[in-house]
Amino acid sequence: MDFRFWVLGFCFWVCFFFSCSGSVNSKGEEGDGFLSGMVLIDGKSAIGGIDEDFVCATLDWWPLEKCDYGTCSWGQASLLNLDLGSNILLNAIKEFNPLKLRLGGTLQDKLIYDTEDHKQPCISFKRNTKELFGFTQGCLPLDRWDKLNDFFKKGGAKIIFGLNALNGRKFASDGSAVGAWNYTNAESFIRYTVKKNYTIHGWEFGNELCGSGVGTRISAEQYASDTIVFQKMVQSIYNGVQTKPLTIAPGGFFDENWFKEFVDKTTPTLDAVTHHIYNLGAGVDNHLVERILNPSYLNGMVDTFYKLHEVLRNSQSSAKAWVGEAGGAYSSGHNLVSNAFVSSFWYLDQLGMAATFDTKTYCRQTLIGGNYGLLNTTTFEPNPDYYSALLWHRLMGRNVLSTSFNGTKKIRAYAHCSKQSKGITLLLLNLDGNTTVHAKFAFNRTSGLHYKHRSYKNKQKVVRTSRPYGREGEAFREEYHITAKDGNLHSQTVLLNGKILSVNSSGNIPSLQPKQVNSSEPIMVAPFSIVFVHIPNIVLPACGNVWN
């Protein structure tokens, strides 16, 4: 359905609902710090679908010398020197079971693989401000690649590897990269990977070379031509191999005209079209928190998601949209912002928004490294966004439900059919630091709760669900309330239902336990808090195909 017509239809039923049932008290009592509102969910059909392993994170090549605005925040987080013996790191990956990991970033397009065709010494990246991206060419030793794959296998990770798309090209006077891609080194590297029986979930071609590019750029026509070569090469190498990898491109910032030309001219069997997001501004900017807490600013990304969705929908391509890299604030993020509690408002809102536009995978920059890592660069301990990502991964299922909130613009609301269980899961983000919101929920053209088999006019079956009960038989739901320690938005310590989350002495990730709440009670969303709500006793037509 055309998105514009869907919006008009959704607005119509919302207006119809309130004209019939009365308006919601959206103001509350003067000065009491409380407000009532309504979560509105259209349960007839899903508006989008995400991968089972929608949550993804990146690992980068940046060395210790990578600095931004005088701050060097990468430490030993490079794929070339990351401590693969860390229990916390391994356990953090294992908890997702599985976690998609995208290996790449700016320096991937200056990375050479130390295969038999590479006749020069294998030297790491060195700082040189006169070179493209500020570093010399670097090299990946095969023994390091072996160790990385052993580690990823232990963690159960699904690997997307970003290939060097600049190899063999020359640079024109306008700074663009011209000429065809030299795939010889990439081909020998992929052949080595297959020979070693390493499982790669996907090969991605290039990083931030589309549109106006970052540092340099490639025309859409040339990129499409090279992508066809890239895909044919991968298909040839994997001929006869049971597990086939995805082919993915172009891994850069969305430019509508460039992406349309690229998609139209490349192979229609490309698996995923990736774009990057750093919509908050530079890491050095002092207004990042204001933007994160501004609903209008957050809504600014709707246009990008919608336009890419339309480019793909109107093309002959079967490719799906992915966010291949997103860190909020570019140039390594901002300490105590993009690695602190406040970042989760932006991050979870991005996950929710991307999902509504049928984005299949969303890769966070980074798992570790810079000031936007899910893990602390030095200690490897989880930052708040790690727990936000893990709860999303465990609770939010593949089917996305049309959701809105009536009562205040400061509540961001998303809903999915639940993951690995019946019912639905709501995500509520309270961007208001002074108001507790009492949220109820309503459904369009469904009675909301169904306990017996019955048919709708569209013949969709709704199945009986099991319900958790209290001592006297009341139906209960599960709630996960996430808050910052001492209410400090810049805190790197997060509380779940009032209890601090931290790894133990063995490096184990803490269990994430919900609290049970009577389903008849409104959802209490505290100021500056995040709430996941699993409601197992609600069965919707949109979710029936998951559990019938």
The question of whether 381 is a catalytic residue gets the answer: no
At residue 109, the 3 state secondary structure works out as helix
What predicted TM-score, i.e. pTM, was given to this entire model?
A: 0.91
| Contact status, residue 178 vs residue 169, Cβ threshold 8 Å | yes
| Helix, strand, coil percentages in the chain from 3-state DSSP, rounded to 5 | 25, 25, 45
Q: How many CA atoms lie less than 13 Å away from 34 in the CB half-sphere?
A: 10
Q: In the chain, list all ranges with CATH 3.20.20.80.
A: 50-399
| Contact status, residue 118 vs residue 51, Cβ threshold 8 Å | no
Distance CA 193, CA 234 (A): 12
Residue type, 517: V
The question of whether 208 is a catalytic residue gets the answer: yes
Question: In this predicted structure, what is the pLDDT of residue 8?
Answer: 35
| Contact status, residue 515 vs residue 497, Cβ threshold 8 Å | yes
Question: In this predicted structure, what is the pLDDT of residue 420?
Answer: 85
- Active-site residue, from 187, 204, 208, 478: 208
- Active-site residue, from 187, 204, 325, 381: 325
Superfamily assignment of 34-48+403-445+474-543 in CATH? Golgi alpha-mannosidase II (2.60.40.1180)
My answer on whether omega of the bond before 98 falls inside 30° of 0, hence cis, is: yes
Q: What is the pLDDT along the chain (548 residues), one digit of tens a residue?
A: 444 334 434 443 444 344 333 334 444 433 359 999 999 999 999 999 999 999 999 999 999 999 999 999 999 999 999 999 999 999 999 999 999 999 999 999 999 999 998 889 999 999 999 999 999 999 999 999 999 999 999 999 999 999 999 999 999 999 999 999 999 999 999 999 999 999 999 999 999 999 999 999 999 999 999 999 999 999 999 999 999 999 999 999 999 999 999 999 999 999 999 999 999 999 999 999 999 999 999 999 999 999 999 999 999 999 999 999 999 999 999 999 999 999 999 999 999 999 999 999 999 999 999 999 999 999 999 999 999 999 999 999 999 999 999 999 999 999 999 998 889 999 999 999 999 999 999 998 544 433 222 222 333 333 333 334 444 446 899 999 999 999 999 999 999 999 999 999 999 999 999 999 999 999 999 999 999 999 999 989 999 755 43
Question: In this predicted structure, what is the pLDDT of residue 231?
Answer: 98
DSSP states of 15-70: HHHHHHH-----S-STTSSEEEEEEEEE-SS-SEE--TT-EEEEE----TT--BTT
Q: What is the CATH number of domain 50-399?
A: 3.20.20.80
Q: What is the DSSP letter of 225?
A: H
Q: In the chain, list all ranges with CATH 2.60.40.1180.
A: 34-48+403-445+474-543
Question: In this predicted structure, what is the pLDDT of residue 460?
Answer: 34
Distance CA 95, CA 116 (A): 37
| Contact status, residue 195 vs residue 240, Cβ threshold 8 Å | no
- Nearest by Cα to 542 from 438, 395, 398, 373: 398
Question: In this predicted structure, what is the pLDDT of residue 118?
Answer: 85
